[in-house]
Amino acid sequence: MPPGLFHDGRLMTDIGVSDPAIAGNSAPPVKAGSMRLPTHWLGIAPFVIFSLMFLILPTAYLILGAFQNEAGEFTLENLAALSQPSIVAAYWISIKVSLASSLIGAFAGLAIAIAIVRGGLPNWIRSATLTFSGVASNFAGVPLAFAFLATLGRLGLATVLLNTVFGINIYAYGFNILSFWGLTLTYVYFQIPLMVVIIVPAIDGLKKEWGEAAATLGATQAQYWRMVVIPVIWPSFLGTVILLFANAFGAIATAYALTGSSLNIVPILLYAQIRGDVLHNAHLGYAIAFGMIFITGLANIFYIWFRTRSERWLK
Amino acid sequence: MSDTFLSIQNVRKSFGAVTVVDDFNLDIERGEFVSFLGPSGCGKTTVLRMVAGFEDPTEGKIVVAGKDITRLKPNQRNVGMVFQAYALFPNLTVAQNVGFGLKIAGMARADADKRVAEMLELIKLPLAQFGDRYPYQLSGGQQQRVALARALAPKPKLLLLDEPLSALDAKVRVSLRDEIRMIQRELGITTIFVTHDQEEALSISDRIAVMYGGKAEQVGTPFEIYNRPATKFVANFVGTLNVLEGTVSDAATGKVRVDAQEIGLKGKLNGSKSGETISLALRPEAITLGPRPGHDASLTGEIHDVQFLGSVIRVRVGVGGSRVSLDTFNNPSSPPPQAGEKTTISFASNDVLVLH
Amino acid sequence: MKTGRFWAWVTFILGAAYFFIPLIATVEFSMRMRRGAYSFDAYAIVLGDPRFQATFGYSVVAAVFTIILGVLIVVPTAYWIRLRLPHLRPIVEFITLLPLVIPAIVIVFGYIRMYGSNSPLPFLASNTGTNALLVIGYATLALPYMYRAVDTGLRTIDVKTLTEAAQILGAGWTTIIGKVILPNVLIAVLSGAFLTFAIVLGEFTMASLLNRPAFGPYLQNIGANRAYEPAALAIIAFVITWGCMSVIQVLSRFAPKSSNRPN
């Protein structure tokens, strides 16, 4: 994820404050001589070994594998094979679901965050919403799928009530919980609260005085939002959208429990490939994994590029 | 007053059952610098915020240049405001911050640029060097100067300063204080300055409104506020004050007994009866060690302690059960008095404030 | 301002509806098992299922080991980075955030290929090895949250000054970490731990691909074969998640409130 994304949450409050613990030009007295380097590095050796062995190397292994054939020679054939229609379709629907759920989640989450922070609602609503968001953002996976089946499945409460009370049979209108919109609607259940949890501190960081200063300078509420609020929140917002996108793009449990393998998204395709080599080509599996990292990585690179380009005021 | 520019009339502000400002009246002349001085919670900031338009008065009205602005929105009032926490927009450069109001007003780009350069010159942060910096790259004092320039750039009718110096460290506070006053004189802008720091208010203002409990206790020049405090609160809040308990022994001749010693306060007792207990208040600088021409009252006591403060020596003298602080100038050729010495203090009976 | 508040209420109520309807529907559905009357039969069946008990127990144990492993890796690292290697901080932070970019399924795929029975490090050759690999994988998933929680905890206590103060008083490294630093970040560590617990308990992808008898795959299996039990399980899972988050919130009230922080 974007480095510093988590900082965005407390970004406003930290502006202009340099962290004394990391400013670090007054290094503590160290034992002189040859002992110095080893002790320094020993402290993070477990972390370095762990992250190399269980995070970086396994990923690198797959990436390399994506560019090799069975004989271990360099090839682009695996990547080329990604272009077969079923795989392209899988990527496409994954991107669509991730994009739709992250954008809907982001805007709805932002709206809720603004409502509870700036909307003049009673204080308990704010704390209740934040607590609930903490829970709901972690309520993903298989149980979430069950909940939505019980709600919007063919026998779900919402489906039945809409049909009996309002006479609207959503399935007759083409809705299906096992479809793009069904999955998107389900993902939004953890996307919105995640947005709320991350963006509320950023909105809290908007100082009341900024709005008042803008007002005394003649700005309308709309001008203040356009010239100050949106530019200030934008980096946190965009960073969170990227996080939501990656969050949805890699998710499998919810979709698998919801749709089995009837909705062909990339993680489910990869899952099937790992379990049973359904593509009959081990290295094509590597290529699919590489493609997933490539897409989430690309999103992040875009974010970093954007941020360094346009947000010089962030330090 | 002939040239009243801002008139705050019978203003009251209640939040629910709590009245924060009660029947506040003040006329401010064009170009005048008025401070609202008081402890936190006295309502001074609320009055300022009502002038700015952030709070609606529950009752009363606010008139600027003959026009009732009580119901105008903040962005229609054309006031400039500086906040304690600087409140610069973090996403804009120094030049963009200063130019914010001009851009809102739709000023032509070239004119706006010129005005920004002018304002930055005024606060001694030249455009070429500071214009492209972001707020986080400035010190607190620099940020506050930029905030001042931002507030002044659109040529507001009123300048409102809400504790603008409180977040700064002591040295910067004094220098920026002087700078604010200089700029204010130069532009001749009518200014309200809210502070809880009496030294700040005394040094910078044309007039001070000392506030307590939502009311103006006294409005006057710094000289009047300091030397002729109208109420016990003002006397205590502004400056250091020595308070001696005394008993009126003879109201007719103005004799007052303090710790078995008697002093004459003719004409100061206005209406106190014999036998009544009163408080006598004295500024440290009104008292001297030993006699001095014009000092018609004296008391004896024992020096309790001596603080050497550089140019001034603060001596505390025990008189009966009370302690009296007084300041004497340092004299390089004679050593300061010693604790434990017996001494006489004197003062002019005219300088005594009798607090009932 | 009046219209602002109106729209705030509208937003809040719409949001609340979206979030509560599925919960209500799930509760309702879970109680429909007995024909014609609401009952807790589904819950009784689920809780009485020996496989539920076995898989739930397995996942709890896995979560505990994950937390221990995570603490052992994260606490010394975060401490050391703050104290001695502040210039490496951006790199370490970047690495800790990687699991949010690299999907879990990709990480576990890498494990399967790298640590198979024929590899130099054959984790997957034995049951214990595979269990260990699952815990390691979970620790990786929890890394961003754990590191963030501990680092925030360290930030509020001014590690450097505390360490120097302890050194001046003659404390050795074990004393410093065990008696000075750890107690001060204990709350942060516990918060991270409970978050980890919530994430790990129902985790499906890694457990399923490593063929572990964990709670996540059990849930999926029930979902594919039963009607009302899944709804009951969803409610149970929600309650557990809620419990973990409540503990974190209660804990945060006891966290040191940065009394001596210079900034």
Please indicate, yes or no, if residue C3 is contained in any of the structural domains.
no
Q: Which of A1-5, A52-56, B262-266 has the highest mean pLDDT?
A: A52-56
Reported as a pLDDT band with limits 50, 70 and 90, residue C257 is low
Select from C109, C185, C212 the residue whose CB has the most chain A CBs within 10 Å, as the one to mutate to test that interface.
C109
CATH number of the domain where residue A94 is located: 1.10.3720.10
Q: Which residue has the higher pLDDT, B168 or A174?
A: B168
CB within 8 Å: A215 and B74: yes
B15 close contact with A: CB closer than 8 A: no
Domain that holds residue A55: 19-66
pLDDT digits (tens, 9 = 90+) for C54-65: 999 999 999 999
Contact check, Cβ <8 Å, B135/A214: no
Residue A162 falls within a domain, yes or no? yes
Same domain, A136 and A31: no
Preferred mutation among B75, B79, B161 to probe A, highest tally of A CBs within 10 A: B75
HSE on the CB side for B298, CA within 13 Å? 14
A55 and A111 in a single domain? The answer is no
CB atoms A157 and C24 under 8 Å: yes
- Within 216-235 of A, beta carbons closer than 8 Å to B belong to 216-220, 223, 227-228, 231-232
Of B54, B134, B154, the CB nearest to A217: B154
Final residue belonging to a domain, choices A34, A66, A98:
A66
Instruction: Indicate whether A219 and A252 sit together in one domain.
Output: yes
Rounded to whole angstroms, the Cα distance separating B69 from B64 reads 7
Tens-place pLDDT, residues A3-55: 444 433 333 333 233 333 333 333 444 444 444 556 677 778 899 999 999 99
**Backbone dihedral region for residue A81 (phi beyond 0: left; psi -120 to 50: alpha; all else: beta):** alpha
Q: Are residues A155 and A271 in the same domain?
A: yes
Q: Does B13 touch chain A (CB under 8 A)?
A: no
Nearest by CB to A141, from C4, C143, C204: name it: C204
Calculate what percentage of chain C has a pLDDT beyond 90. Answer: 50
CB spacing of B160 vs A216 below 8 angstroms:
yes
Kindly report, residue by residue over A81-94, the tens digit of the pLDDT. 999 999 999 999 99
- If you write DSSP's letter for every residue of C195-250 in order, what string do you get? HHHHHHHT--HHHHHTT---HHHHHHHHHHH-SSHHHHHHHHHHHHHHHHHHHHHH
Mean pLDDT score, A102-109: 96
Residue A14 located in a structural domain: no
Q: Is C113 within 8 Å of A65 when comparing Cβ atoms?
A: yes
Is residue A175 domain-shared with residue A310, that is, in the same domain? yes
Among candidates B98, B275, B82, which has minimal Cα distance to B191?
B82
Report the residue from A15, A216, A312 with minimal CB separation from B81. Answer: A216
Give C18's contacts in chain A (Cβ within 8 Å).
188-189, 192
- Taking CB atoms and an 8 Å cutoff, what residues of chain A touch C114? 57-58, 61
- Number of folded domains in chain C? 1
Q: Do A37 and A156 reside in the same domain of the chain?
A: no
What's the structural domain count of chain A?
Answer: 2
For residue B237, give both structure tokens: 């809040």
B136 vs A219: CB contact, 8 Å cut-off?
no
In this complex, how many residue pairs, one in chain A and one in chain B, have their CB atoms less than 8 Å apart?
87
Put simply, the chain A residues between 129 and 188 with a CB less than 8 A from any chain C CB are 129, 131-132, 134-136, 138-139, 141-151, 155-158, 188
Nearest C-alpha in A relative to C196: A138
* C187 belongs to a structural domain: yes
In-domain check, residue A111: yes
Residue B136 contacts A where some CB pair is shorter than 8 Å:
yes
Residue C128 domain flag: yes
Nearest chain A alpha carbon to C200? A138
Cβ–Cβ below 8 Å for B101 and A217: yes
A15: contact with B, CB 8 A cutoff: yes
Where residue A311 falls among pLDDT bands split at 50, 70, 90? low
Q: Is A166 on the interface with B (CB under 8 A)?
A: no
- Which of C28, C101, C195 is facing A157, going by the closest CB pair? C28
**Domain containing residue C169:** 50-254
**What pLDDT is stored for residue C103 in this prediction?**
93
Residue C201 belongs to some domain of the structure = yes
Q: Rounded mean pLDDT of A123-128?
A: 90
Is A186 strand, coil or helix?
helix
What tens digit of pLDDT does each residue of C134-168 get? 999 999 999 999 998 898 888 888 888 888 888 88
Phi then psi for residue B354, to 5 deg, are -95, 120
- Lowest mean pLDDT of A10-14, A132-136, A157-161, B245-249, name the range: A10-14
pLDDT at B1 over 50: no
Mean pLDDT over the full length of chain B: 90
- Structural domain contains residue C130: yes
DSSP string, A249-291: HH--HHHHHHHTTSS--HHHHHHHHHHH-TTS-HHHHHHHHHH
Q: How far apart are CA A98 and CA A30, in angstroms?
A: 50
pLDDT of residue A315: 57
Predicted local confidence at residue B2, as pLDDT: 57
- Is C41 inside any structural domain? no
Cα→Cα distances B194→A215, B81, B83, B201, Å: 19, 11, 10, 8
Q: Which of C2, C5, C6, C19 to mutate to test the interface with A (most CBs of A within 10 A)?
A: C19
Which chains neighbour B (Cβ–Cβ under 8 Å, 3 or more pairs)? A
Same-domain pairing of A62 and A124:
no
Distance of CA A261 to the CA centre of its chain: 23
Predicted confidence band at C2 (pLDDT cuts at 50, 70, 90)? low
Flag whether pLDDT at B107 surpasses 70: yes
Which residue of chain A has the CA closest to B84? A209
On whether any CB of chain A is under 8 Å from the CB of B149, the answer is: no
Q: How far is CA C117 from CA A50, A57, A280, A289, C121, in A?
A: 20, 18, 21, 22, 8
Say whether pTM exceeds 0.90: no
B135 interface with A at CB cutoff 8 Å: yes
Q: CA nearest A44 in C: which residue?
A: C77
A3 inside domain = no
Number of residues that this document lists for chain B: 356
Q: Can you give the CATH number for the domain in which C243 is found?
A: 1.10.3720.10
Nearest by CB: C81 against A5, A44, A252? A44
Which H or E run includes C124?
A: none
* Predicted complex ipTM: 0.87
Does residue A76 sit within a domain?
Answer: no
Is C213 within the bounds of a domain?
yes
Evaluate whether residue C133 is within a structural domain. Answer: yes
Mean pLDDT of chain A: 83
Q: How far is CA A197 from CA A236, B290, B295, C134, in A?
A: 12, 71, 71, 28
Among partner residues A27, A46, A189, which is closest to C73 by beta-carbon distance?
A46
Q: What was the pLDDT predicted at B51?
A: 95
- Whose tokens are 């008025």? That residue is B34
Please name which of B332, B334, B316 lies closest in space to residue B324, comparing C-alpha atoms: B316
Chains C and A physically touch (3 or more Cβ atom pairs below 8 Å)? yes
- d(CA C149, nearest CA chain A) in Å: 11
Does any CB of chain B come closer than 8 Å to the CB of residue A12? yes
Q: pLDDT (tens digit, 9 = 90+) per residue, C64-100? A: 999 999 999 998 899 889 888 888 888 998 999 899 8
Specify if A267 maps to a domain. yes
A72 falls within a domain: no
CA separation, residue B292 to residues A241, B323, B338, C28, C81 (Å): 79, 21, 20, 94, 69
Residue A77 lies in a domain: no
Chain B contact for A312 (CB, 8 A cutoff)? yes
Mean pLDDT of C246-255: 81
- Alpha-carbon distance B258 to B320, whole Å? 8
- The confidence score (pLDDT) of residue B356 equals 64
- H helix or E strand, kind and range, residue B211: strand B207-212
Assign C176 a pLDDT band (cuts: 50, 70, 90).
confident
Q: Which range, of A122-131, C78-87, C244-253, averages the lowest pLDDT?
A: C244-253
Contact list, B100 vs chain A (CB under 8 Å): 214, 217, 219, 227
* Residues A39 and A186 both lie in one domain: no
Q: What is the pLDDT of residue C153?
A: 86
pLDDT band at B17 (very low <50, low <70, confident <90, very high): confident
pLDDT of residue A19: 36
- Mean pLDDT, residues B80-94: 93
Question: Which of chain C's residues have a Cβ under 8 Å away from the Cβ of A22?
Answer: 82, 86, 89
Residue A210: list chain B partners with CB under 8 A.
87, 89
Chains B and C touch (3+ CB pairs under 8 A): no
Highest average pLDDT, of B110-119, B232-241, B309-318, C142-151, comes from B110-119
Could you tell me if A121 and A59 lie in one domain?
Answer: no
Q: Which of B184-193, B341-350, C150-159, C211-220 has the lowest mean pLDDT?
A: C150-159
Least confident segment among A22-31, B141-150, B152-161, C10-19: A22-31
User: Which residues in chain C have Cβ-Cβ distances shorter than 8 Å to A5?
Assistant: 97
> In the prediction, which pLDDT does B263 show?
87
- In 3D space, the residue among C59, C48, C144 whose CA is nearest the CA of residue C95 turns out to be C144
Per-residue confidence (pLDDT) for residue B74, from 0 to 100: 92
Contact between A101 and A107 (Cβ < 8 Å): no
pLDDT value at residue B232: 83
Q: Which chains touch A (3 or more CB pairs under 8 A)?
A: B, C
| Average pLDDT, rounded, for chain C | 88
Single out the residue of C116, C237, C103 nearest to residue A268, CA to CA: C103
